[in-house]
Structure 1
Amino acid sequence: MNRRRRVAAAITLVCAMTVLAAPTLAYADPQPPPAAGAPKKSLEEVRKEVDALYRKAGAATDAYNLAKEQAAKQSTLLVELGQDIVKGQTKIDLLKQQLGSEARAQYRDAGLPPEAQLLLSGDPAKFLDGADRLRAGQHAQQTLLAQLDKSQQELTAYTRDASAQWRRLEANRTQQAKAKKDVEKKLAAAKKLESGLAKKERERLAELEREHEAEAQTSWLSSGILKEINNKASAQGKKAVAFATEQIGKPYVWGAEGPKSYDCSGLTSQAWAAAGHPIPRTSQEQWKQLPHVAVKDMRPGDLIIYFSDATHVGMYLGDGAMVNAPRPGRNVSIGGAGSMPILGVVRPDA
C-alpha cells in the first residue's frame, strides 16, 4: 500500500509541476573553466553535448543487447543441432549394422545370393515359399538402404545448418564486443564532460535537464492530449505496471535487466515478463515487433517509444506520467510521458 501511495503521489507531482510550469526569469549559466585555447561553452551547450552522448550510448546499448540476445538464441540452436547430429549418426550406425548382418548371412551361405540358392534347391514348394520370403527380404533391404540414404542427407543438412549458425554466432559476438566498446567510449566522454564541472555547475546542469524535460512535458500537455487518453489498463497491464513501479529507485546500468539494476528496455521487458507476456529485449525490437497504437489510445502498461531511432522506452502509468530507467547516473523513476520526443506507442498485449 505504501508503494502505491508513493507512486500515486509521484504521478500527481509530475502532473502538477508540468501543468503549472511557467516561464522563469532568464539568467546567465555559470561557465565551466575553459581548456587552454578552447572557446567557452555555456552549460546549455554542455547539456546538449552530454545528452547527445548519452543518446548515442543508448543506441549502442540497444545494439549490444540485440547482439547478446541473438547470440543466446544461436547458442541454443547449436545445442539442438548438435543433439540432432548425434541422433542422426546413431541412426546411421544402426542401419549400417543391420545391412552388415545381412551381408554376413549371405557370406555364410557360401556367398551365393538368395536367388541362386532357390534355383539350386530342386524343390518347387520350397522354391515358391522361398520366393515370397525373398521378395520380403529384398523389400526390407531396399527400405533400409532408403532410410540410410535419408539419414545421411539429414545429417549433412544438420551439419551445414550448424556451420551456418556458428558463423552467425561468431558475427554476433563480434558485434556485441564492438557495441560494448562503443557504449563505454560514449559513457566515458559524457562522464568526462560532467566531471570537469564544479559542484555548483553540476547542480545547475541537472536543473537545466529538469527544465528541458518540464518544458517538453508542458508543451505536450498543452495540446489537450490528456482529455483523450482515458483508457484503463488490462489485467496484464496492471501487473506490468506494478512490477515496473516496484523497481523505482534502482540504478540504471546499461545492459542490465534486473533484479538490482536496469536499462530502459531491460525494465520494460522484465515488467511484461513478470506479467506473463514476454516481449523483445530491446526498445528497437519492441517498436518493430509489437502492435502499434495511437498516442491518444494508450493505456497504463503500454510502452512509449522515444526518439526517431527508437532508442529509449518507458511504460505509461496514466495521468500523463510514465516510469523509466532514464540513463547512466540516474535511477528508475517516474517522469512526464511527453518529456522526450515520442516516436509512438506499442501495446504488448494487444
Structure 2
Amino acid sequence: MRTGKRGLIAAAVTVVCAVTVLAAPGTAFASPSPTPTPTASPSPLPNKDLEAVRLKLDQLYREAAAATDAYNAAEEKAEKQSAEIVQLAKKIVEGQEKLDELKERAGAAARAQYRSGGLPDEAQLMLSDNPRQFLDGAGRVLQGQRATKALIGEMTRTQQDLELYAKDASAQWKKLEAGRKAKAAAQKKIEKQIAAAEKLESRLEKADKERLARLEEEAALKAQTAWLDTGVLDDVSGEATEAGKKAVKYATAQIGKPYGWGEEGPKAYDCSGLTSQAWASAGTAIPRTSQEQWKQLKRVDVEDMRPGDLIIYFKDASHVAMYIGDGAMVHAPRPNRTVTIAGAGSMPILAVVRPGA
C-alpha cells in the first residue's frame, strides 16, 4: 500500500475515533450545589480532519459505485444467459420431437422391409413370375433405400444437435451460477461500503455535517472552475439531435428522485440506470453499465460534445452523467443523494461517448 493512501486511511480512522470521543456523553462531577454542572458542547472538528472525512467518504462511495457497476453487469449477463437457456430448451424440445418422428419413419421402413421377406434382390428376381415388373419395383426399392439412408443421416445429425444443445445449456447454467455468485459478492461489497460511509457520517455533529456539505460543494466548484479555466468550452457549440433532446428531457425530469444502486427507475436510479433509461426513452438502446457505455459507445472529443452525450468519470469508468449544455450535466450522484444538475467538470473526466452514433 502506498504511503499516501495509508496516511489517508489512518487519518480517517483517527477522525472516527475523535468523533466517537466527541460524541460521548460528558462526565458528571460532584458539586455542592443542587444544580448539576452543564456539559460542554462538542468542539467542531478541525478543517483538516473534516477534509480527511470528506476524502474517506468519497473513497467509500466510489468503491460502492464500482461495485454497483459489477452488480449491474452480472445482472445483465444473467438476463442474457437465462434467455439463451430458454432458447436452447426450445431447441431441445423441437429436436426431440423431430427425432421421435424420424424414428417412427425409420421403424415404418424397417417393417415394410420385413413384410417383403427380407430376401436379397437376386433371389426375388429368380422367384418372380414377371421379371419386368420386378425390375420396375427394384427401382422403387433403390429409391427407398436411398431415402432410408438419408433418413438415417438426418437422425444422426438431429441426435448430434440435441447433444450439442444439451452441452450448451449445461455451460450456460454454469455461467449463470457464476454470475449469481458475482452478483451476490458485488451486492455484499456495495452494502459494506455504504454502511461504512453512513456510519462515518452518523458520528458527525450536525454542525460538522453542514460544514462537510460545504466542503463537498467547494471541492466540486474548485474542480469545475479549473476545468472551465482551461477554455475547454470555448469551441463547444454542438446542438442536440432530436433523440438527444428527448434523452435530456427524460433525465432532467427525474431531478429530485433518490439514488438507488441497481435501480433503473421510475422511483430511483443509479448513475447508469438514469442514462440508459433516458436514451431508451428516446428510442435508443445502450449498455446498462457505465463501464460498458464507455467501452461500446462512440467516443467524441470534449470540444465536440453536445447535449445528450454521456460523460464518463474516473479512471475505472465507475460513474456516468449526461451533458445538458452550458458546461452542466445531470446525474444520480451516490447513495443518500438525489438526481441533480452539477458542473460537468466537477469530477475527473475519462471520456465523452455518444449514443446512437
Q: TM-score range by the shorter chain?
A: 0.7 to 0.9
- Of 166, 169, 189, the residue aligned with 2:173 is 166
Quote the Cα distance in structure 1 between the aligned partners of 2:262 and 2:356: 24
1:205 equivalenced with 2:212 (yes/no): yes
| Equivalent position to 1:301, from 296, 308, 322 | 308
Question: What is the distance in 2 between the residues matched to 1:44 and 1:283?
Answer: 28
Please, which of 233, 236, 239 is the counterpart of residue 243 of structure 2? 236
Residue in structure 2 matched with residue 86 of structure 1 by the alignment: 93
Whole-angstrom distance in 2 between the partners of 1:162 and 1:119: 56
- AA matched with 2:268: S
1:270 to 269, 277, 296: 277
Q: Deviations over 1:172-222 (max 9, x none)?
A: 011000000000000000000000111111111111111100000000001
Deviation at 1:112, TM superposition (A): 3.3
Structure 1 residues not aligned, in runs of 5+: 1-30
Q: Does 2:332 match 1:325?
A: yes
Could you tell me whether the CA contact under 8 Å between 1:284 and 1:309 is conserved in 2?
yes
Q: Percent identity?
A: 61
Q: Deviations over 1:47-85 (max 9, x none)?
A: 000000000000000000000000010000000000000
CA shift for structure 1 position 119: 4.3
Matches within 5 A, 1:239-254: 239-254=246-261
Matched ranges for 1:17-56 at <5 A: 33-35=18-20, 42-56=49-63
Letter of the aligned partner of 2:224 in structure 1? Answer: Q
Taking the aligned partners of 2:251 and 2:216, their CA distance within structure 1 comes to 23
- Residue in 1 aligned with 2:293? 286
2:184 aligned with 1:177 = yes
Deviation at 1:116, TM superposition (A): 4.3
From 125, 140, 164, give the equivalent of 1:157.
164
What is the alpha-carbon distance in structure 2 between the residues aligned to residue 118 and residue 49 of structure 1? Answer: 97
Does 1:217 pair with 2:224?
Answer: yes
TM, length-normalised to structure 1: 0.88
Checking the alignment, whether the CA contact within 8 Å between 1:84 and 1:158 is kept in structure 2 is: yes
Change (3 A) 1:100 1:47: same
The one-letter code matched in structure 2 to 1:44 is E
The offset of 1:106, in angstroms, is 2.2
In 1, the alpha carbon distance for the partners of 2:312 and 2:344 equals 10
Contact 1:106 1:112 in 2 (8 A): no
The aligned residue for residue 198 of structure 2 is 191
Amino acid at match of 2:356: D
Q: Give the secondary-structure state (helix, strand or coil) at the position aligned to 2:233.
A: helix
Deviations 1:77-125 (A, max 9, x none): 0000000001111111100000001111222333435664344213121
Report the equivalent of 1:137: 144
* Amino acid corresponding to residue 293 of structure 1 in structure 2: V
Aligned residues: 319
Q: Give the root-mean-square deviation of aligned CA atoms.
A: 1.7
Structural mapping, 1:255-266, within 5 Å? 255-266=262-273
The answer to whether the Cα contact below 8 Å between 2:125 and 2:131 also exists between their aligned partners in 1 is no
Ranked by relative contact order (alpha carbons within 8 Å, sequence separation 6 or more), the top structure is 1
What SS class does the counterpart of residue 225 from structure 1 fall into? coil
TM-score by length of 2: 0.86
Structure 2 residue corresponding to 1:342, chosen from 339, 349, 356: 349
Task: Report the structure number with the largest CA radius of gyration.
Answer: 2
